[in-house]
Amino acid sequence: MRKYIVAGNWKMNKRLSEGVRLAEEINVAVEKAGALKCDVVIAPPFLHLTEVSKAVGNKVSVAAQNCAAEASGAYTGEVSASMLQSAGIASVIIGHSERRTFYGETDAVLAKKTGQALSCGLKVIFCIGEELSQRDNGRYFDIVKSQIENGLFHLSADEWKNIVIAYEPVWAIGTGRTATSAQAQEVHAFIRQTIAGKYGQPSADDTTILYGGSCNENNAKELFAQPDIDGGLIGGASLTAEKFIGIVTAF
Mask 214-243, x = binds ligand 13P (CB under 6 A)? xx-----------------xxxxx------
The candidate with the shortest Cα–Cα distance to 233, out of 174, 162, 153, 183, is 174
Q: How far is it, in rounded angstroms, from Cα 76 to Cα 59?
A: 34
Which of 39, 105, 130, 168 lies at the binding interface for ligand 13P (CB under 6 A)? 168
Rounded (5°) CA angle 207-217-7: 35
Q: How far is it, in rounded angstroms, from Cα 117 to Cα 163?
A: 10
Mask 6-45, x = binds ligand 13P (CB under 6 A)? ---x------------------------------------
> Residue 234 in contact with residue 15, Cβ under 8 Å?
no
Q: How far is it, in rounded angstroms, from Cα 160 to Cα 150?
A: 14
| Residues of this chain, 84-123, that bind ligand 13P according to CB under 6 A | 96
Rounded least distance, CB 165 to ligand 13P, Å:
13
Question: Cβ contacts of residue 185 below 8 Å, gap of 6+?
Answer: 226, 227, 228, 229
Rounded least distance, CB 141 to ligand 13P, Å:
21
**Greatest CA separation for the chain:** 47
Q: Which of 96, 98, 105, 188 is catalytic?
A: 96
User: How many C-beta neighbours within 10 Å does residue 121 have?
Assistant: 12
Nearer Cβ to ligand 13P, position 96 or 192? 96
- Residue whose C-beta lies closest to ligand 13P: 235
Nearer Cβ to ligand 13P, position 7 or 120? 7
Which of 88, 121, 174, 200 lies at the binding interface for ligand 13P (CB under 6 A)? 174
DSSP letter, residue 170: G
Any catalytic annotation for residue 96?
yes
Q: Which of 98, 105, 130, 168 is catalytic?
A: 168
Any catalytic annotation for residue 18?
no
Q: Which residues would be at the binding site for ligand 13P (CB under 6 A)?
A: 9, 96, 168, 173-174, 212-215, 233-237
